[in-house]
Amino acid sequence: MAKLTFQIFTISILLFLIAFPATGEEEHMFGKSINRKSMTLKKEKLSHFRFFWHDVLSGSKPTSMMVIPPPKNTSSFGQMNMIDNALTLGPKLSSKIVGRAQGFYASASQNDVGLMMVMNFAFIEGKYNGSTFTILGRNLVFEKVREMAIIGGSGLFRFARGYVQASTHSWDFKTGDATVQYDAYVLHY
């Protein structure tokens, strides 16, 4: 009987060590549910923002730079530009700057002028100073209105979601400079 008890005890210890290895590290939970109130999340609201995006390729201080040229056998497919474009209240570049569009766009269509846009709209004005939201989507440049998704944000735009509508205000064929009106519809807390 003592031998059987010893064997059961030994097997129990081995099973315990296999199930709960002694690593010397603290146990950390990978994920858990949390209460929204603990994150100080208030009621979700819908906000509308309108501003103008200035893509400047010309002059001594361009805000859009080609970082990957297109292959020689295509028109622009594969080209990528990094941007740090002004966001202004009015269509003139001299209008009040409310933020910057930082990210990139790439020519992602072989048949259309279709860009993949990836941008953070980083705001520097008013209560939204320091807050951002992120745009990701397809931009068919010659369509009157293009729609792209808002996929997240920071600061006052934590948990943001929504969409933007872009419409070209002006485009200079010679320089490539463009001014685009953005209307953003953002759900946030």
Lowest mean pLDDT among 14-23, 97-106, 146-155, 165-174: 14-23
Note the CATH number of domain 45-188.
2.40.480.10
| Cα dihedral value 42, 47, 52, 57, nearest 10 | 50
Spatial separation of the C-alpha atoms in residues 85 and 102, rounded to whole Å: 7
CA 31 to chain centroid: 23
What number is the average pLDDT over the span 95-117? 95
Predicted confidence band of residue 34 (pLDDT cuts 50, 70, 90): confident
Which among 25, 84, 71, 49 has a CA at the least distance from the CA of 163? Answer: 49
Per the prediction, the chain carries an average pLDDT of 89
CB neighbour class for 50 (10 Å; exposed up to 12, middle 13-18, buried from 19) = exposed
Query: In this structure, which amino acid lies at residue 122?
Result: A
| 74 SS3 class | coil
How many angstroms separate the CA atoms of 179 and 110, rounded? 24
d(CA 188, CA 160): 5
- How many Cβ atoms sit within 10 Å of the Cβ of residue 80? 18
Contact 54, 172 (CB under 8 A): no
Residue-wise pLDDT tens digits, 50-102: 999 999 999 999 999 999 999 887 688 999 999 999 999 999 999 999 999 99
